[in-house]
């Protein structure tokens, strides 16, 4: 989920490195299906779908520079980012929390005092931890992983006591681990955050297309089918089920499409 996809509009059409298209490395996922709905609405007979890898550190620059057209991944829509980019309708809502090993004895975020945590470079986790009332004065050290897999590896190897990140990303790492039952996500939330598609600020026509398309997917109820496919059903080829049903916040986002940031 650290990687993203993109659509870019340039002059009369969409292009990417001289070709027209959408890009991403996460080829089979919920976010890809959402982006493909946008692609189908573009009136370009020769539209080509391309994919490019981005990370939390590179994704915004890729959008701003025009390297990608539509970043569609685990990107929080916040007011600071809105100064540089635009966002489509919220298509996922998460809680920022922490994954720990059940054997650690850590039950709350306050229990992280005096410990070392991991998080991923370019994400919002550590600033939120510093601002949280129960941890803002705690002595907590952090190690940054280059991506979510590396951040989780630090936890699995006991190099850190917790991995602080969005709950759905934590759930994905745990589900793919060799021993999922060894971990638990703390029930506390540092903040609830909306995920949205990220696109350039200077293309209101493209934003209008993105908004209209995703609004229609939500209004028709198709978004619920797509969601169930990826979050509450076995996912090929390993048959892993994230067991992450729609939360009240996610249901509300689907019922009332908006591009509000936090």
What distance in Å separates the CA atoms of residue 211 and residue 257, rounded to the nearest whole number? 9
Burial class (CB in 10 A: 0-12, 13-18, 19+), 162: buried
Q: Do 144 and 191 meet the contact criterion of CB atoms below 8 Å apart? A: no
DSSP letter for each residue of 204-228: HHHHHHHHHHHHHHHHHTHHHHHHH
Domain end position, chosen among 141, 161, 185: 185
pLDDT of residue 49: 72
Q: Do 83 and 55 meet the contact criterion of CB atoms below 8 Å apart? A: no
Tens digit of pLDDT for each residue in 161-193? Answer: 999 999 999 998 999 899 999 999 999 999 999
- Chain-centroid distance of CA 200 in Å reads 18
What distance in Å separates the CA atoms of residue 58 and residue 51, rounded to the nearest whole number? 15
Model confidence, pTM? 0.77
Tens digit of pLDDT for each residue in 108-130? Answer: 999 999 999 999 998 888 899 99
Whether residue 216 has pLDDT greater than 90 = yes
Tell me if 128 is assigned to some domain: yes
Whether residue 19 has pLDDT greater than 70 = no
pLDDT of residue 28: 42
217 against 18, higher pLDDT: 217
Tell me if 1 is assigned to some domain: no
My answer on whether 181 and 139 are in the same domain is: yes
pLDDT of residue 52: 81
pLDDT of residue 7: 43
Instruction: Provide the number of structural domains found in the chain.
Output: 2
Whether residue 11 has pLDDT greater than 50 = no
Interval 186-202 mean pLDDT: 94
Tens digit of pLDDT for each residue in 235-258? Answer: 888 888 888 999 999 999 999 999
pLDDT of residue 255: 98
My answer on whether 200 and 75 are in the same domain is: yes
Whether residue 47 has pLDDT greater than 60 = yes
My answer on whether 103 and 166 are in the same domain is: yes
CATH number at residue 208: 3.40.190.10
Q: Which domain holds residue 159?
A: 94-185
């Amino acid at each position: 989920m650290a990687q993203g996809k993109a659509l870019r509009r340039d002059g009369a059409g969409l292009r990417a490195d001289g070709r027209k298209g959408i890009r991403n490395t996460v080829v089979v996922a919920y976010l890809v299906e959402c982006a493909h709905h946008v692609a189908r609405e573009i009136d370009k007979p020769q539209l080509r779908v391309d994919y490019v890898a981005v990370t939390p550190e590179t994704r915004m620059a890729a959008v701003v520079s025009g390297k990608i057209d539509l970043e569609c991944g685990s990107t929080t829509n916040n007011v600071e980012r809105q100064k540089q980019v635009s966002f489509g309708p919220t298509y996922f809502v998460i809680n920022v929390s922490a994954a720990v090993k059940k054997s650690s004895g850590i039950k709350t975020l306050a229990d992280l005092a005096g410990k070392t945590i991991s998080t991923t470079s370019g994400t919002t986790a550590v600033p939120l931890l510093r601002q949280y009332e129960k941890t803002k004065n705690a002595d907590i050290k952090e190690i940054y992983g280059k991506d979510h897999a590396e951040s989780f590896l630090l936890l699995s190897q006991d190099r850190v006591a917790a991995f602080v990140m969005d709950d759905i990303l934590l759930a994905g790492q745990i589900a793919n681990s060799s021993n999922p039952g060894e971990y638990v996500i703390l029930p506390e939330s540092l903040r609830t955050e909306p995920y949205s598609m990220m696109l350039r600020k200077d293309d209101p026509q493209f934003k209008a297309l993105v908004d209209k398309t995703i609004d229609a997917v939500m209004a028709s109820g198709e978004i619920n089918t797509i969601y169930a496919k990826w979050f509450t059903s076995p996912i090929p080829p390993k048959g892993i089920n994230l067991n992450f049903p729609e939360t009240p916040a996610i249901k509300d986002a689907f019922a009332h499409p908006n591009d509000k940031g936090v």
